[in-house]
Amino acid sequence: MPEAAAAPFSKLLKNLDILRMILEQMNLPAINCMGRTCQIVRPVAFLVSSTRFFSIIKQFFPTQLSSFSTALTKSHGIITGSCALDMLLGLEGDEPSDLNIIVPLAGLSKIQNFLRSAHFTEHAHSNVHRTMASCTNQFHLYTHDTKMVTISQTKSSDVLDAVINSPSTADMTFMTAGGQKVFSSATGTYVILCKNMCGIHKQSGD
């Protein structure tokens, strides 16, 4: 490529690199809003969002990112707690040490099989906390080295039962392998902050 022709292309790449660094400092809703501004920004926003998700998950499954995403999707599970908040706000401070997963009644075995293949050890069943007893069927704890994964199995086929009945607003933020949602507390209404990693969709409902 002639030097004169390569100059604009090099300038564009440099600007995209700067754009990526700016987006990395934003929370997820802001990243996705930026991603909807134009076709140039959109793929960079998608890359930043995807990289943030996998940077969280790789702390637990460094060589099995794709397998975990598949297992989570097939089990119809969701991730709550500090990892979901890290995805929403961006990683800050220490690396996450615990991954909290909620699965519906029929989805438990799929995520358990994955954890066993990833060499996580199951501990004795823990009692379901009384605040979640109305909607949670079983609670399981898995560990590997310094990492911990908890699995809560709901009594119904709807994982949102556990989210809506959560005693903590922190657990009303949850994510899947393809998106993130945040529920407001108390009122029963909700706001979908992010429908998918590619674009933001805000809406309210009952």
Here the CATH number for the domain that contains residue 107 is 3.30.460.10
Q: What is the pLDDT of residues 134-152, one digit of tens each?
A: 778 888 999 999 999 999 8
Can you tell me the mean pLDDT for 56-81?
91
C-alpha span between 203 and 95 (Å, rounded): 32
Give residue for tokens 């998700």: 53
Host H or E run for residue 109: helix 108-117
Neighbouring residues of 105: CB distance < 8 A, sequence distance ≥ 6: 137, 153, 154, 155, 156, 157
According to DSSP, residue 195 is labeled S
pLDDT, position 191: 37
Please choose, from the candidates 67, 26, 58, 57, the residue with its C-alpha nearest in 3D space to the C-alpha of residue 44: 26
3-state DSSP call for residue 201? coil
Which range has the worst mean pLDDT, 55-64, 98-107, 127-136, 195-204? 195-204
The pLDDT score that the predictor gives to residue 7 is 56
- What is the rounded average pLDDT of the residues 107-124? 92
In Å, how far are 77, 100, 126 from 157, measured between CA atoms? 11, 18, 21
Among candidates 27, 53, 28, 165, which has minimal Cα distance to 152?
165
* Confidence label for 197 from pLDDT (cuts 50, 70 and 90): very low
Q: How many domains does the chain have?
A: 1
* 1: number of Cβ within 10 Å: 8
Write the single-letter amino acid at 122.
E
- Domain with 161, as residue range(s), is 3-205
